[in-house]
């Protein structure tokens, strides 16, 4: 029997405009997917896609429609890896399939995946780009949170970082340049980043210019985000990055995320698990992968006006495991 697919286009308003080096977001467009079997059991998932790779809601919906005839009762995550490329469409299908299998077997996804029982994790809270006054206001609102990720670009960097450190003297700080720096600028900023106690630099250089990091002895670990997709991207990152950021939209689902985490660790990379924004439904499978990670960035729901029913619980930077009523 073929699994029934229901797909909806959703837009989730953000609490305020969210700016990074390449764009400003006002709301979050998502595809929401349901996979149902003949017994009316349903698995749910969502995907934001990878906009900088040209993915759109329409392109993801078309991809899903193109494989609908292959979505049969005996489909596995491994089958999806062979059937579709990495990206948001496969992420939605793969995570919905994991949720469906959990409901069919009445066994949580973490058990089926052979993982230990999930524990709460510390998540970063992201401060978007903005004026110094805006960043100071957001930093003050984030007092009490243990881990902050600050978005920077080629022109707005150390001043904003000093503001955040001034307002949050005890917080751990990660910075994310979203491909906007050069190797020279990274070198020029390094002393200031060290002085501010930054513990991770995420994707400083444009994807494709990673070779400039070869042999760099950075005292702060450098994390590949846009440069890390799925397992096929790992060889080119060795000797250039110390950390990889696993996002289910990039790698194409929970199945590949687990495999990517295992292979990256075997190659000596430390792990970060991030998100392309989204609701708790998007964070839930990523949360299980984050059990292996040194850094987790699962704050998507905290940046939005609303969330799903049975939403994940966030309190003072700690996120609790998802309920099976939400996913898995």
Active site residues: 151, 247
Whether the Cβ atoms of residue 254 and residue 278 lie closer than 8 Å to each other: no
Complete DSSP assignment for 182-217: -HHHHHHHHHHHHHTTEEEEE--SPTT-GGGGTT--
According to the 3-state scheme, what is the secondary structure of 49-105?
Answer: CCHHHCCCHHHHHHHHHHCHHHCECCCCHHHHHHHCCCCHHHHHHHHHHHHHHHHHH
Nearby residues of 75 by Cβ (< 8 Å), 6 or more positions away: 3, 97
3-state helix, strand, coil in the chain (%, to 5): 35, 25, 40
Q: What is the DSSP letter of 106?
A: T
Q: Which of 112, 97, 94, 111 is nearest to 41 (CA)?
A: 97
Cα 324 versus chain centre, distance: 20
């Amino acid at each position: 029997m073929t699994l029934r697919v229901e797909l909806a286009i959703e837009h989730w308003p953000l609490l305020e405009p969210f700016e990074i080096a390449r764009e400003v977001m006002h709301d979050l467009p998502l595809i929401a997917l349901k996979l149902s079997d003949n017994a009316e059991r349903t698995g749910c998932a969502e995907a934001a896609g990878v906009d900088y790779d040209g993915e759109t809601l329409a392109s993801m919906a078309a991809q899903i429609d193109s494989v609908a005839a292959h979505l049969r009762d005996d489909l596995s995550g491994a089958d999806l890896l062979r059937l579709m490329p990495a990206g948001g469409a496969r992420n939605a299908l793969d995570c919905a399939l994991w949720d469906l299998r959990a409901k069919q077997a009445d066994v949580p996804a973490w058990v089926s995946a052979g993982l230990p029982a999930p524990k709460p994790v510390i998540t970063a809270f992201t401060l978007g780009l903005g004026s110094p006054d805006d960043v100071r206001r957001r930093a003050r609102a984030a007092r009490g949170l243990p881990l902050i990720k600050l978005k920077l670009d080629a022109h707005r960097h150390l001043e904003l970082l000093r503001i955040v450190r001034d307002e949050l003297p005890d917080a751990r700080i990660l910075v994310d340049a979203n491909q906007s720096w050069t190797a020279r600028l990274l070198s020029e900023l390094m002393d200031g980043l060290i002085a501010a106690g930054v513990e991770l630099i995420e994707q400083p250089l444009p994807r494709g210019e990673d070779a400039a990091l070869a042999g760099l002895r950075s005292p702060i670990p450098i994390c590949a985000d846009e440069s890390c997709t799925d397992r096929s991207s790992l060889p080119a990152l060795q000797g250039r990055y110390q950390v990889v950021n696993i996002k289910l939209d990039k790698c194409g689902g929970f199945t590949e995320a687990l495999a990517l985490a295992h292979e990256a660790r075997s190659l000596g990379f430390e792990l970060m698990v991030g998100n392309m924004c989204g609701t708790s439904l998007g964070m839930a499978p990523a949360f299980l992968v984050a059990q292996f990670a040194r850094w987790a960035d699962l704050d998507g729901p905290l940046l939005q006006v609303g969330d799903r029913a049975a939403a994940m619980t966030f309190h003072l930077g700690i996120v609790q495991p998802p309920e099976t009523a939400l996913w898995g």
